[in-house]
Structures are given as C-alpha cells and as structure tokens.
C-alpha cells in the first residue's frame, strides 16, 4: 500500500523516508529510559520513526502510555499501513487511531465479531468519521439484530452510522426492544431528531 506524505508545500507518494526520519519528538528522561533503557550508549533524547521501526517493543500504545501525544506520532509517521506492517499497531489500538481515520475492517482486518468483542474501543463517532456505515456493517460484514444488541449503541449512535427509518422498518417490535431498550414509537421519534 502506498501512502501519501505531506511535506511542506509538496506531496510525495510511495516509500519515501524524506522528512519522516527528520521529524523528531523530544523525550523526557523518563521517556528515554522507558523506550531505550538505561544504557548510555543507546539512550536518546529524541524519538524518530527510525527508532520506532528499529525497536521491536516500541509500539504506538507504548508511546502513548508514556505520554507521547498521538498527534505527534501521527506527524512522525502519517502512513498507518507502515505502523501496521511493522506490528506497531493492532486492532487493540483502535481507540488511539482517530488521527488516521482508520477504517478497521479494511485497514486492520477487523471482523464484525471483533467489533462486538472490543466494543469499548469502537466509538460510533470514530467509526463514522472513518467511513463505516450501518449499511456496510449489515451488508458487507454481517451485522445482525443480535449483534446490534451486544454492541449496546444508543439510537443516536446508530444514527451517526447512518441508521434510518427504513432500517427500523426491517426489524420486529421484539428486536427493536432488545436492541434499543425502547419501543418502536420511541425509536422512531429519536430518529426524527
């Protein structure tokens, strides 16, 4: 997969490293020890994409857990596929990926089961911003009424994903009650808001 990299006023495509390795994030002494250990020969005061790529234990989550802001990591390496290819990002990190507008099904090979199992990581707004819709969840990935119930999204959250009146009409009253904990009329009113 080729990635677009913005460099000042010019845009380059492909495997360029120009600019990526020159972007460095300043580290505190605590971060330096967390990332590189106490060895003075390997200790660094900055973090570059080359450092992340070279150190097997240095992942996006480890950086964030050690107070490196996600937006700085995104600026350091804007191509999510590079993070994924090196095993620096997994599906478990989805809650950290809003800067990348990551579509979890295509970019991280998530399944509808992953969406249910990791529901706390899959905020409907983040999914919607990444282009995920109710229709493609249902048609491409096998979303069912039972899975919707397990996701526990509110009517408003389903609306963010494009759930509309026409979709509501495909459910029985019993399914609506199980999914939304409301009757059909209450859900219909919420959809009109």
Is residue 71 very low, low, confident or very high in pLDDT (cuts 50, 70, 90)?
very high
Does pLDDT of 193 surpass 90? no
* Per-residue pLDDT, 59: 98
- Of 161, 167, 166, 155, nearest to 191 (Cα)? 155
d(CA 126, CA 38): 38
Strand, coil or helix: 41: coil
Rg over alpha carbons for the chain, rounded to the nearest Å, is: 21
Mean pLDDT along residues 26-49: 90
Contact present, 178 and 150 (Cβ < 8 Å):
no
**Please, where are the H alpha helices in 55-99?**
60-65, 70-76, 80-85
* Per-residue pLDDT, 171: 97
**Angle subtended at Cα 75 by Cα 3 and Cα 23, rounded to the nearest 5 degrees:** 105
Contact present, 143 and 137 (Cβ < 8 Å):
yes
To the nearest whole percent, how much of the chain has pLDDT over 70? 89
Does pLDDT of 7 surpass 60? no
The pLDDT tens digits of the residues spanning 118-157 come to 999 999 999 999 999 999 999 999 999 999 999 999 999 9
Q: Give residue 186's Cα distance to chain centre.
A: 32
The pLDDT tens digits of the residues spanning 73-125 come to 999 999 999 999 999 999 999 999 999 999 999 999 999 999 999 999 999 99
Contact present, 161 and 133 (Cβ < 8 Å):
yes
């Amino acid at each position: 997969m080729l990635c677009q990299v913005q460099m000042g006023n010019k845009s380059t495509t492909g495997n360029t490293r120009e600019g990526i390795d020159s972007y460095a994030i300043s580290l505190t002494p605590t971060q330096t020890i967390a990332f590189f250990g106490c060895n003075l020969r390997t200790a660094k005061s900055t973090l570059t994409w080359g450092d992340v790529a070279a150190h097997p234990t240095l992942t996006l989550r480890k950086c964030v857990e050690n107070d490196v802001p996600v937006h700085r990591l995104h600026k350091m390496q804007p191509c999510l596929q590079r993070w994924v290819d090196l095993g620096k990002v997994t599906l478990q990190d989805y809650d950290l990926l809003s800067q990348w507008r990551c579509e979890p099904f295509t970019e991280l090979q998530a399944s509808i089961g992953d969406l249910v199992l990791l529901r706390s990581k899959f905020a409907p707004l983040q999914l919607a911003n990444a282009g995920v819709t109710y229709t493609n969840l249902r048609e491409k990935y096998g979303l069912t009424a039972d899975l919707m119930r397990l996701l526990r999204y509110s009517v408003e959250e389903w609306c963010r994903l494009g759930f509309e009146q026409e979709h509501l009409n495909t459910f029985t009253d019993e399914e609506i009650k199980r999914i939304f904990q409301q009757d059909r009329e209450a859900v219909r009113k919420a959809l009109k808001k």
